[in-house]
Amino acid sequence: MPEAPPVIDAFFTVTENGRETGFVTRGGRAARFDWDTGRMADGARPLERMWPALPAAFRSGFDAVLVTADPWSMVFRGAQCLLLNPLDGSVAEVSTIAARLPGLPQPFPQGIDAALASGAGQEVYLFAGDQCARYDLRAMNVVEVAPLERMWPGLAQHAPAFTAGIDAAVSRPSQGAFHFFHAADSTRGTLATRTVTETARPVDDTTWPGLVPTFAPGFAYVQVGRNIDVIDLESDRDVETLDINPHSDSTTALQVSPDGRLLYVWTHTQRLCLDTTTRRIVADLPFASGESPACGVTFSAGASLVHGATKNWEQGKLYLDTFRAGTTERTQRVELRAQDLRAALSAQDDGADLKASGIGADMGSAVASPDDRFVYLGVDLDGRGAVVEVDVRAGRLRQAFRMPAGNAFTIALSPDGVHLHAAGREGVCTFDVRNGAVVRQGVLPGCTALAVSRGGDGLYCLPWDWDTKEGLLIADPLSHAVRRRIPVGGSGGPGHPHAIAFDYAGTFAFLSEEHANAVVIVDTETYDMVRAIPTRDGQRPMSIAVGPY
């Protein structure tokens, strides 16, 4: 069986104000790794954006990086090398390996696969093929060259495939440990003794949370007609059509879990869960007679739980249900009673005559607070819209926010959990969940979908009105001032996007565009439309979800 391609090209650690930050590269992109949390810190960015001063030859990727005088690092690309300060982007001394590190035997001057500082003095380790060289940067000479299995005791025992070559090597100086990467696996050991101590394991969300999906091109799951099309975002081609008919009236009928492993589909009568690696149904969530799902779902921060509303049409009841993700096990049911909602809204309704007898969900998605304590849901109370806040720890409705006009068809929450954005046909309203105050309203038009960028600095709005064709609006989350109007239609027209999803790292926004019948991709940093992928047979795309698998 052919060996898997390397999951990364280079990995190195620098220290700033006592905090260790890892930088990972693959191809022409780089991302930061937070050693304190053990997770990727942000999305992958093009190397030329991360470090604009890089010469053209280095922008397509790094072979290896060696931290020499922290944070200054030696970057290798082919037979060339340079010095880079990854913290401020400074570049210096572009040279060749042969000139920079004299005395290295072949094949080292032609290219370095991986590099690692010893953590003691000026000795470093350079890897090329199945060989490792110890090099003294102070004396500028080779100390030793040996096969990998001899230089690194325990490697042949714990990770025999690694003896053929190391793709990337990294250490966390404060911990004294090193990590080797080879193909799709990693191992670790003690740097002071150069001893490999851990059996090689796959690089995944258990061993290196977020690393693989951060760099994966990923897949778009698009509701097209009565099916779900799976688009490979590396080739922009349909690779599979799933015979599942999502709910046609919602922009959130498809949703991928935060770890990218699960796809939840809301049909008119079912809520299905698929494993994205096999694209097979692993859970068909149970509903009693007269019940059906009433909105899209939201996930806990760790993706272990999933929340969604259920409507009992026979009894006129609305519930917020919580399930263990990927299973049919319901862990909690909270009834959202009309009288409780009426009581919560009494001060805001200013004496309005409401019967408080009928309550329903508003077809959008639920959203969860970052601390997993609260879930927010757009509801309708006798024809008037509101957003409820459910304390899922206490199992009760805690408070509610009355929409100034219209319904809360779509909602989004700021990353810090403070500001709740809600919209329907009548416009966008932003609430402060700490006190229920309306922060802003009456500025943005009605929207079919809202989304907040990963960093929280942009509110993405998809205008409701087909006739105005305003394209994609990106607004300030608090003032609602429109920063950019991005045309996403065919032939440069404004277009009419229907639904939105971000990739795993929030680097790109994906829109189902009804005017051009395409999936449109927007760069969330530059606000540029990157490309459009036509849908199968030119059919109208509706709900969309994006994940790494």
Q: Which residue has the higher pLDDT, 297 or 338?
A: 297
The answer to whether residue 58 is domain-embedded is yes
105 cis-preceded (ω within 30 degrees of 0):
no
Kindly write down the DSSP assignment for every residue of 45-81, as one continuous string: EEHHHHSTTS-GGGTT--SEEEEEETTEEEEEETTEE
pLDDT for res 119:
83
Written as six digits, the tokens of 194 are 């150069």
Written as six digits, the tokens of 15 are 């220290």
Q: Are residues 293 and 203 in the same domain?
A: no
Q: Are residues 14 and 148 in the same domain?
A: yes
The answer to whether residue 50 is domain-embedded is yes
Residue 257's SS3 state is coil
Q: What is the per-residue pLDDT across 411-445, written as a single tens digit (0 to 9) for each? A: 999 999 999 999 999 999 999 999 999 999 999 99
Q: How far is CA 293 from the centre of its chain?
A: 26
d(CA 367, CA 329): 20
- Residue ending a domain, choose from 187, 212, 237: 212
The answer to whether residue 129 is domain-embedded is yes
Q: Are residues 16 and 158 in the same domain?
A: yes
The answer to whether residue 130 is domain-embedded is yes
- Any idea what the CATH number is for the domain that residue 201 is in? 2.110.10.10
Classify residue 507 by its DSSP letter: S
Q: What is the per-residue pLDDT across 249-263, written as a single tens digit (0 to 9) for each? A: 789 999 999 999 999
pLDDT for res 194:
96
The answer on pLDDT for 270 being more than 90 is: yes
Kindly write down the DSSP assignment for every residue of 187-252, as one continuous string: EEEETTTTEE-S--EE-STTTSTTHHHHH---EEEEEETTEEEEEETTTTEEEEEE-----TT-S-
Q: Are residues 208 and 94 in the same domain?
A: yes
Q: Are residues 295 and 202 in the same domain?
A: no
Burial class (CB in 10 A: 0-12, 13-18, 19+), 289: exposed
The answer to whether residue 188 is domain-embedded is yes
Number of structural domains the chain divides into: 2
Q: What is the per-residue pLDDT across 502-545, written as a single tens digit (0 to 9) for each? A: 999 899 999 999 888 999 999 999 999 999 999 999 999 999 99
Range of the domain at 363: 286-368+398-402
Q: Are residues 203 and 291 in the same domain?
A: no
The answer on pLDDT for 302 being more than 90 is: no
pLDDT for res 515:
82
Q: Are residues 60 and 175 in the same domain?
A: yes
Give the range among 94-103, 149-158, 357-366, 373-382 with minimum mean pLDDT.
357-366
Dihedral-angle region of residue 376 (phi above 0 means left; psi in -120 to 50 means alpha; beta otherwise)? beta
Q: Which residue has the higher pLDDT, 195 or 303?
A: 195
pLDDT for res 357:
57
Q: What is the per-residue pLDDT across 339-384, written as a single tens digit (0 to 9) for each? A: 888 888 876 765 455 555 568 777 778 999 999 999 999 998 877 8
Q: Which residue has the higher pLDDT, 340 or 145?
A: 145
Q: What is the per-residue pLDDT across 208-260, written as a single tens digit (0 to 9) for each? A: 999 999 999 999 999 999 999 999 999 999 999 999 999 887 899 999 999 99
Q: Are residues 22 and 157 in the same domain?
A: yes
- Residue ending a domain, choose from 197, 212, 227: 212
Q: What's the mean pLDDT in 133-161? A: 97
Q: What is the per-residue pLDDT across 441-482, written as a single tens digit (0 to 9) for each? A: 999 999 999 999 998 999 999 998 766 668 999 999 999 999
State pTM to two decimals. Answer: 0.91
- Residue ending a domain, choose from 402, 428, 454: 402
Residues 6+ apart with CB under 8 A from 193: 153
The answer on pLDDT for 170 being more than 60 is: yes
- Work out the widest C-alpha separation in the chain, in whole angstroms: 88
Element (H, E) at 98: helix 97-100
Q: Are residues 45 and 133 in the same domain?
A: yes
What percent of the chain is predicted at pLDDT more than 90?
83
pLDDT for res 482:
96
Give the range among 222-231, 385-394, 413-422, 492-501 with minimum mean pLDDT.
492-501
Q: Categorize the per-residue pLDDT at 1 as very low, low, confident or very high, splitting at 50, 70 and 90.
A: low
For the chain, what is the mean pLDDT? 93
Contact 39, 50 (CB under 8 A): no
The answer on pLDDT for 167 being more than 80 is: yes
Element (H, E) at 273: strand 271-275
The answer to whether residue 90 is domain-embedded is yes
- Rounded to the nearest 10°, the torsion over CA 98, 102, 106, 111 is -40
- Residue 506's identity, in one-letter code, is G
The answer to whether residue 331 is domain-embedded is yes
Q: Are residues 55 and 150 in the same domain?
A: yes
Q: What is the per-residue pLDDT across 364-373, written as a single tens digit (0 to 9) for each? A: 789 999 999 9
Q: What is the per-residue pLDDT across 273-297, written as a single tens digit (0 to 9) for each? A: 999 999 999 999 999 999 999 999 9
The answer on pLDDT for 549 being more than 90 is: yes
The answer to whether residue 55 is domain-embedded is yes
